[in-house]
Structure 1
Amino acid sequence: MKQILWGGATSASQYEGAFQVGNKGLDTQDCRPYLPRTSDATVKTRLLSFATINEAKVCQDIGQYPFRRGSKGYSHLHEDLELLKELGIDIYRFSISWARIFPHGDEKEPNEEGLKYYDEIIKVLKKAGIKIFITMNHYAIPLHLVETYGGWKNRKMIDYYMKFAITIMNRWKDDIDYWLPFNEINAGYFSPYNGVGLIKEDEKSYNQSDVFQSLHHQFVASAKVIQYGHKKVKGQFGCMIASFCYYAYTSRPEDNLKLIKDENINQWFCMDVLVRGYYPTYMFAFFREHDIHIYMEDEDKKILLENTSDFISFSYYSSSIITTEEAPQTAGNLVVTTRNPYLQSTKWGWQIDPIGLCTTLHKFYDRYQKPIIIAENGMGTEDVLELDFKIHDQYRIQYLQDHFEQIIKAQKDGVDIIAYCMWGIIDIVSAGSCEMDKRYGVIYVDGNNHGDGTYQRYKKDSFSWYQQFINQYHKEKEEER
């Protein structure tokens, strides 16, 4: 039985900061404001219109826009990489900021200063023997492409994205172990601003034809990346969705039928296209029912069919409940769900379900028979920096231990697992709630929701626990040989 790679993950927009350093351009995440929570489990949402985007562009108060400072990782880069080396991880997943390479997204030539920043990260990781998992686009889209072309609903985005993708593939063609064209691609459906760069004109719902047209363009772009990558670069190419592990609330047939339909649209659709290479039949019924129309060029079907993913990956934080009846609600990863009475929740309302991760691994592997990377998992909650600069996060240690047990159990049951990447291995700004208080890492960053603090790094108790776990795991695997 092969050894699982144990690692961590961050994204450029949540970690780097330095939003105007090195010729970086504004991106969509730079324009998302911090809004205080209205309760333990909910966050206010603000309509992002062209008016609010214009407000963000001229606002000089960086404290209002947390992604502009992130964890100040840009200026703490070597310190953070040394901590990751000390931790002993096998694999590190991070993303490339599109707007750091092409500030407006449609330039003829890339920004060399941005490329050199990532050169340094890759050089250090390679020297340390840490495998590299690159997310090519993690939500953040150059703002100019959204304002000028309308985001991913415009087919021109494929060409601009491919120029960016080919630039970074050519730059690091021999250095990257795993490539991911899009983070949580299904977020384009349930979170269109983040996923596909659509901005609402008013209070109305998003135009669903625009949403699915945008997703189609991302499918084609992903397939074209794989087409190019298989010919020109080393490494494997995958796809990723946000997974939810749906359970029916009751044994009523209506609940179970709704589960199947919701799971198809929210969870399976995007991965079915990217792994199988064609649109599943259930989507054509969905399109008819909701009067959704998308345009495909003649070559699209061939490109999708011939350039499918080598591996699959997903984020998993909590499970979800499906019911046809009204029931108490709670929060989840960019979505809300029905509360599960059998589970405990974090302060943010995310339901803690380690067995759900094992269930998810089985369902994904049974459906696709492709090796799996758990691209994101972790516990987002408040941590306390004590007077002696210690952080006693036994709750996170328990969370990790319980989930790791289920991962190892799934592997013993026959699931082919490549790697596990702990989300926000270094504390980052939360993508869902735009705040620092919701922390995931084993490395504490001394900053708050408004940008106050030293931004010094401190090892949490979970740092030592994860370090010991990785060492012990590999020692036991070597002894088994």
Structure 2
Amino acid sequence: MGKKLEFPKEFLWGGATAANQIEGAYDIGGKTLSAAEMTPYIELMDRSNPSETRKITKEILLESIDNKEGKHYPKRYGIDFYHRYKEDIKLFKEAGLKIFRMSISWTRIFPNGNDKTPNKKGLDFYKCVFEECKKQNLEVMVTINHFDLPLWAIEKNLSWTDKEMQENYLLYAKTVIDEFNEYVKYWLPFNEINLYAFTSKMLNDGLDEKNIMKTIISSYNDLHKLFVTQAKVIEYSKKYPNIKIGSMVADSTSYSLDCNPLNVIENQKMEHMKKFFYHDVMVRGEYPGYALRLFNELGVKIDKEDGDDILLKNNPVQFITFSYYMSGTHSVTSDEKTEGNFMKVGKNPFLKATEWGWQIDPIGLRYVLNQLWDRYQIPLFVSENGIGVLETLNENNTVEDDYRIEYLGKHFEQISEAIKDGVNVFGYTMWTPIDVVSAGTSEMSKRYGMIFVDYDDYHNGTGNRYLKKSYKWFKNFMETSEI
């Protein structure tokens, strides 16, 4: 008999995905390309340091349109959720999931950006998906923009400081909220907003590798426009009292490498600017003093318009969500780094890491839940958490993924502990219930799901779904609360 965990009856257990990693059908129903679908598969030479192997630039993305070299673009095919969504949603429900976090593809709704009316075929597809979720009694959380910058924005070299980008996004966001508010209670305007501004800026302007700080500095104005645009979405959503708008931040939990006061203060600085800064603006509606000091020291001038400060103050998010995969250390006395989820952090000698260098730290999840609750006192939701592993089907058409069972169980235990600590955390969506194309490396080999999808990195295979051992374990956990 396993260990029984305590959770509120109404706790929302679920799974998370992204349109550009599952849908496929990139040229069906009027859809146009997004940046994600223009990213080629490049075999990794060093899994623990993928950024050294595959650097993506605007030029590489635009080359994908003609594709003269015949490269493979995995996110154009995903796992064919577009045609198999009923099968997948049924499997999610049978596993015991109560909520499905998914995203809508911007280019499926407004293929050309400046379309006078939304694409009906795109709206019809998502309505069918939401109807199926309703049929299966699955709550839905929607990310409006999950790392799928449209092709037209890249071609025009638009960034979030451009009015055209802001206005087209707002039209898109208002359209999907108007269309689907009766199906979707929880909305997230942007995925991992702390990473999005930087990566969007990097795609359009390129990255000066000798002066990465230059890109970081210039991205703060893009970030400000994201904050303001999100506040406008929240303001608009108030016409629908049944829906809630939350934030989504890639968590950057870190510890001081040791008790050297220099390292302690360095870690505090990092946590301020890599974590709390985003939450402070979106929850409290104002720029914190530590950020203003840094901006002054770096020569950053935030280009605010009249009314921006009032807009941010009057339209805070109603709940916080965050992705949590790993933790790291910070130090001024050590340069040993590991990489994960587009971040480089210091190695922790007390933690094990995945093949991709992501350090596994279940206790850190309890730590960050307490941090955020103590600081903000608004409902929390763990919107991404999971482990990517190289896997193949065995002779019984399953995967004996005991490591995933151990990973999930230990993280579930720490969420339970946080709830006992008094933290108001109301749900959890694992990344991901089903194998998907990796966001960072565009490979199928890095498998996160409880459901195996029969595709390799070049999309050879049947696409059929097979249940891993973790699927049956999770189903039992939903019934017994035992890990």
Residue 277 of structure 1 is aligned with which of 263, 285, 295? Answer: 285
| Structure 1 SS opposite 2:184 | coil
1:134/1:58 Cα in 2 relative to 1: closer, same or farther (>3 Å)? same
1:46/1:398 Cα in 2 relative to 1: closer, same or farther (>3 Å)? closer
Please show how residues 332-347 of structure 1 align to structure 2 within 5 Å: 332-347=340-355
* Residue identity matched to 1:267: K
How far has the Cα of 1:61 moved from its partner? 7.0
How far has the Cα of 1:60 moved from its partner? 6.5
Contact 2:90 2:136 in 1 (8 A): no
C-alpha distance in 2 between matches for 1:209 and 1:460: 44
Contact 1:47 1:203 in 2 (8 A): no
Equivalent residue, structure 1, for 2:475: 467
Equivalent residue, structure 2, for 1:122: 130
Equivalent residue, structure 2, for 1:198: 204
Query: What percent identity do the matched residue pairs reach?
Result: 39
Please show how residues 42-121 of structure 1 align to structure 2 within 5 Å: 42-43=49-50, 44-59=52-67, 64-121=72-129
How far has the Cα of 1:104 moved from its partner? 2.1
C-alpha distance in 2 between matches for 1:209 and 1:105: 28
* Residue identity matched to 1:32: T
C-alpha distance in 2 between matches for 1:12 and 1:5: 21
| Structure 2 SS opposite 1:7 | strand
* Residue identity matched to 1:425: P
C-alpha distance in 2 between matches for 1:147 and 1:213: 21
Contact 1:277 1:308 in 2 (8 A): yes
C-alpha distance in 2 between matches for 1:33 and 1:27: 12
1:456/1:395 Cα in 2 relative to 1: closer, same or farther (>3 Å)? same
| Structure 2 SS opposite 1:20 | coil
| Structure 1 SS opposite 2:40 | coil
C-alpha distance in 1 between matches for 2:63 and 2:104: 26
Deviations 1:172-230 (A, max 9, x none): 122212111111100035x423x886341765645344311111111011111111111
How far has the Cα of 1:232 moved from its partner? 3.0
| Structure 2 SS opposite 1:181 | strand
How far has the Cα of 1:294 moved from its partner? 2.4
Contact 1:13 1:30 in 2 (8 A): yes
C-alpha distance in 2 between matches for 1:163 and 1:88: 35
How far has the Cα of 1:153 moved from its partner? 2.8
Equivalent residue, structure 2, for 1:16: 23
Equivalent residue, structure 2, for 1:146: 154
Please show how residues 29-428 of structure 1 align to structure 2 within 5 Å: 29-43=36-50, 44-59=52-67, 64-188=72-196, 191-193=198-200, 198-200=204-206, 205=212, 207-232=215-240, 234-428=242-436
Supply the RMSD in Å over aligned alpha carbons: 1.9
| Structure 1 SS opposite 2:345 | strand
How far has the Cα of 1:96 moved from its partner? 0.4
1:90/1:63 Cα in 2 relative to 1: closer, same or farther (>3 Å)? farther
How far has the Cα of 1:39 moved from its partner? 2.2
| Structure 1 SS opposite 2:172 | helix
Contact 1:327 1:339 in 2 (8 A): no
Relative to the length of structure 1, the TM-score reads 0.94
* Residue identity matched to 2:34: D
Contact 2:58 2:154 in 1 (8 A): no
Contact 2:89 2:136 in 1 (8 A): no
How many residue pairs match? The answer is 473
| Structure 1 SS opposite 2:374 | helix
How far has the Cα of 1:51 moved from its partner? 2.5
Relative to the length of structure 2, the TM-score reads 0.94
Contact 1:139 1:196 in 2 (8 A): no
Query: Once structures 1 and 2 are overlaid, which stretch shifts more, 383-392 or 357-366?
Result: 383-392
C-alpha distance in 2 between matches for 1:278 and 1:240: 17
Query: Once structures 1 and 2 are overlaid, which stretch shifts more, 418-427 or 208-217?
Result: 208-217
Q: In the alignment, is residue 25 of structure 1 matched against residue 37 of structure 2?
A: no
How far has the Cα of 1:46 moved from its partner? 4.1
* Residue identity matched to 1:22: G
1:396/1:414 Cα in 2 relative to 1: closer, same or farther (>3 Å)? same
1:261/1:98 Cα in 2 relative to 1: closer, same or farther (>3 Å)? same
Contact 2:45 2:53 in 1 (8 A): no
C-alpha distance in 1 between matches for 2:373 and 2:248: 14
C-alpha distance in 2 between matches for 1:344 and 1:316: 16
| Structure 1 SS opposite 2:132 | helix
How far has the Cα of 1:347 moved from its partner? 1.1
C-alpha distance in 2 between matches for 1:65 and 1:153: 29
Equivalent residue, structure 1, for 2:5: none
C-alpha distance in 1 between matches for 2:207 and 2:403: 42
1:21/1:248 Cα in 2 relative to 1: closer, same or farther (>3 Å)? same
1:33/1:134 Cα in 2 relative to 1: closer, same or farther (>3 Å)? same
Contact 1:152 1:197 in 2 (8 A): no
C-alpha distance in 2 between matches for 1:340 and 1:353: 10
| Structure 2 SS opposite 1:232 | coil
How far has the Cα of 1:375 moved from its partner? 0.3
Deviations 1:256-288 (A, max 9, x none): 111111111111111111111111111111112
C-alpha distance in 1 between matches for 2:124 and 2:205: 32
Contact 1:42 1:331 in 2 (8 A): yes
C-alpha distance in 2 between matches for 1:448 and 1:63: 15
| Residue segments in structure 1 that go unaligned for 5+ positions in a row | 477-481
C-alpha distance in 1 between matches for 2:20 and 2:104: 9
* Residue identity matched to 2:109: I
1:210/1:143 Cα in 2 relative to 1: closer, same or farther (>3 Å)? farther
C-alpha distance in 1 between matches for 2:264 and 2:41: 38
